Structure 1
Amino acid sequence: MKWVTWILAIALVFLQYDLWLAKGSWRDMWRLENNVSAQNARNETLIQRNKTLTAEIKDLTHGQDAIAEIARVDLGYVQNGETFYRFVHPAK
């Protein structure tokens, strides 16, 4: 009867090895779950960036104010009848 107990104990150890340490085990599942949550976080930041870019594109295609603002800030555009003042901080 003692040898049956040993055989069953060895079988249990082999079955537990597959469950906890082999390919497709709990450890792999936990690692994959961590990878999925990290990828979801990256996806959320990319979704927010895409929404911002979409709003900017929509504003540029339909609104003249955004185009004028970009021209003023980036290109130094001044309309007719406007006076441009530039403030320069003195060097220390």
Structure 2
Amino acid sequence: MNRVTGPRLLLALLLVTLLALQLRLWFGEGSLRHGLALQQNVAELEQETERLRDRNRLMAADVADLKQGLDTVEEIARRDLGLIRDGETFYLVLDRDVAQ
């Protein structure tokens, strides 16, 4: 090997290695961009988890109400199923804006 060729070859090898490491740092798996995308995904999943926790709390409260008495069952039947007891009179009031 020539005296000049050895250091140039070593320098070229080091530059190629540095370039490969930089490419992995910026674009490969585990890169900065990949890490930011994962952090954003975690934040979205945490928000969804919190929304589901709130929904579960409301459902647990409904279950507790249903276990305590029949008033809640009647309220749900009236609201969702249109329950009318014997002897009650049902009046339907229409809003003028909606009726036209």
Would you say same fold, with TM above 0.5?
yes
Q: Contact 1:18–1:25 at 8 Å: present in 2 too?
A: yes
Q: Distance in 1 between matches of 2:20 and 2:30?
A: 15
Aligned to 1:86: 91
Q: Secondary structure at the match of 1:88?
A: coil
Q: CA deviation at 1:63?
A: 2.4
Q: Distance in 2 between matches of 1:88 and 1:61?
A: 33
Report which of the two structures shows the higher radius of gyration computed on alpha carbons. Answer: 2
Q: Distance in 1 between matches of 2:65 and 2:17?
A: 68
Q: Distance in 1 between matches of 2:19 and 2:13?
A: 10
Q: Contact 1:59–1:66 at 8 Å: present in 2 too?
A: yes
Q: Counterpart amino acid of 2:19?
A: V
Q: Distance in 1 between matches of 2:11 and 2:86?
A: 94
**Number of equivalenced pairs:** 90
Unaligned runs of 5+ in 1: none
Q: Contact 2:26–2:33 at 8 Å: present in 1 too?
A: yes
Task: Tell me the TM-score normalised to structure 1 length.
Answer: 0.75
Q: Counterpart amino acid of 2:40?
A: N
Task: Tell me the TM-score normalised to structure 2 length.
Answer: 0.70
Q: CA deviation at 1:6?
A: 4.6
What is the root-mean-square deviation of aligned Cα atoms in Å? 2.4
The reply on whether 1:19 has 2:16 as its aligned counterpart is: no
Q: Counterpart amino acid of 1:76?
A: L
Q: CA deviation at 1:37?
A: 0.7
Q: Contact 1:72–1:78 at 8 Å: present in 2 too?
A: no
Unaligned runs of 5+ in 2: none
